[in-house]
Structure 1
């Protein structure tokens, strides 16, 4: 079994239980994930499209807020930093985030943009449409300064920083450099999951995570195995100047490359996939908490694989609990 090959059940359980001892600050693009769920009984007479009769509406934390939600669900103490719009969605989202137990002292209102909102329309448990409402210009300089100040204050209370950049305007190259430098001054690890357009901003980070398509956007087609695969990841890690590069590979699991030359492809165990939305956020959250719990890179990768497997079994953007993560050991 995959888990037994990489670490013992006792070690796995010890590391997962230790998540509750960690405190993490998440900085990045805060979004609202809106779900409209219903059923389809007929086709519109106006055009050949389905009519979805909405039966349920739900608002959930998205983007960096979803990373924070995942960390909180896994048991960690979580702080969040970023921006929302001066609108009802932003106010409702902050209320939901606070009810979850996430600290929002460094979440500020940006009147120059609406709260980024992704509306998913789901019928018969299938996502049929997504509607995005957003503006992605850089946040004003005075808000960037407030963000840095808020992060500086939060650094006194956390064990790690996760910077989650979706290119929605919260972060700039200069802000990222400042945040990494402030964390390094306190010897606090920085885990990042950027988009390819901003990946080079994160030099000096402890961990940088990309999915396969993002890695290929930066470095071209990824070899599937062998020496070429190893050299591909090692070269990309060196180019990005980070201590550890992690690449999620979908049904193939994930791979990592470390500064000391350690590298590994950790295969995923076969599962029935329902929805991959948000799985990357779950994976990076579990990986970060495992590393903070003193897991080796290989152990952390194994736990992250389990967390991702738990997430994709669910419809929509979902979190994973420690109990689910522990139970997943028996699924391999």
Structure 2
């Protein structure tokens, strides 16, 4: 992937509208330093120096699209309390359209991470994982169904917090078959049965192992798992993210399966939080901007390498990607 080729696709990002559907999460970070152990228990005492809130889950996917220069619209559920208001404010500040957010009586999911130096000490979550049901579900699905015609692609960010359902995928796949729209899914263990007939799924190693029912422990089992996922889900492509070993793309072309391995380009790894959000946002936006799936995956691989070098939930920009490609033109 050369800088010139990537730049060609980036110029088209501004015209692409992506709808992100899924579980909206508020990431709360408490930063501090540790200089002593508590006399009450053998745990570190963190002296807090800073607190910040960032977009997580589906909201971080939308944030990545904005950072890349695309147009992001988000659909999901937030609560009516202060956490929900913070999410709304952050999304509007970033430029994400919130017209398709559904407000419910449930709590907004908040993940709080305490970080000392570059080390995460502990994480605690506040969440409500009940499935959306009844009139609320009907209203939410009706909103999605009526909105789909206005977008170049749909990303489903599934964190298994109650938004994603069989009925939702029935609507998405029906629309895909009729209109040829690109539907990408960041999957969650326990929901693989829902993802049939989508355009692309982006599981990590653990998720791919579960979905394929094959323990991935070497290249042979990796290849077998990728083939099995394509066969089971009847999807067009599978992009397995493999951490420090990079990514592996499996594409179904006619009766063949084409496999492309992409080694990692990360130079430093400080925090992998949200890297999967960056991957699915980048590969989707690049593909609808004209890149074939392999080229889109290469750009996403570079973007992921950039965000893992940052602390906390982060994004990559076209400028950062192009700067990397200046010295690594065939990454």
Matches within 5 A, 1:193-272: 193-218=186-211, 219-225=213-219, 229-260=222-253, 261-269=257-265, 271-272=267-268
CA distance in 1, matches of 2:11, 2:322: 9
User: SS at the partner of 2:76?
Assistant: strand
User: SS at the partner of 1:181?
Assistant: helix
Using the TM superposition, give the Cα deviation of residue 142 of structure 1 relative to its aligned residue in structure 2, in angstroms: 1.6
Using the TM superposition, give the Cα deviation of residue 300 of structure 1 relative to its aligned residue in structure 2, in angstroms: 1.2
Residue aligning to 2:144: 151
Q: What is the TM-score when the length of structure 1 is the normalising length?
A: 0.93
How many residues get paired?
A: 324
Residue aligning to 2:82: 88
Whether 1:163 aligns to 2:159 is no
CA distance in 2, matches of 1:320, 1:229: 28
Residue aligning to 2:323: 327
CA distance in 2, matches of 1:331, 1:130: 37
Deviations 1:124-165 (CA, angstroms, capped at 9, x unpaired): 232111111112110122222222222233323210000111
Deviations 1:204-239 (CA, angstroms, capped at 9, x unpaired): 11111100111112222225325x543431122111
Matches within 5 A, 1:31-46: 31-46=25-40
Using the TM superposition, give the Cα deviation of residue 275 of structure 1 relative to its aligned residue in structure 2, in angstroms: 0.8
Whether 1:11 aligns to 2:5 is yes
CA distance in 2, matches of 1:269, 1:121: 28
User: SS at the partner of 2:209?
Assistant: helix
Residue aligning to 2:134: 141
Conserved 8 A contact 1:148-1:179: no
Whether 1:312 aligns to 2:308 is yes
Q: What is the TM-score when the length of structure 2 is the normalising length?
A: 0.93
Conserved 8 A contact 1:16-1:326: no
Deviations 1:100-131 (CA, angstroms, capped at 9, x unpaired): 111111111110x2101100111123211111
CA distance in 1, matches of 2:169, 2:207: 19
Deviations 1:27-54 (CA, angstroms, capped at 9, x unpaired): 0001100111112232222112111122
Long gaps (5+) in structure 2: none
Long gaps (5+) in structure 1: 1-6
Moved over 6 A (4+): none
Deviations 1:186-208 (CA, angstroms, capped at 9, x unpaired): 32210111102112201111111
CA RMSD of aligned residues (A): 1.6
Conserved 8 A contact 1:155-1:183: no
Matches within 5 A, 1:276-295: 276-295=272-291
User: SS at the partner of 1:251?
Assistant: helix
Whether 1:297 aligns to 2:290 is no
User: SS at the partner of 1:259?
Assistant: strand
Conserved 8 A contact 1:83-1:170: yes
Whether 1:175 aligns to 2:168 is yes
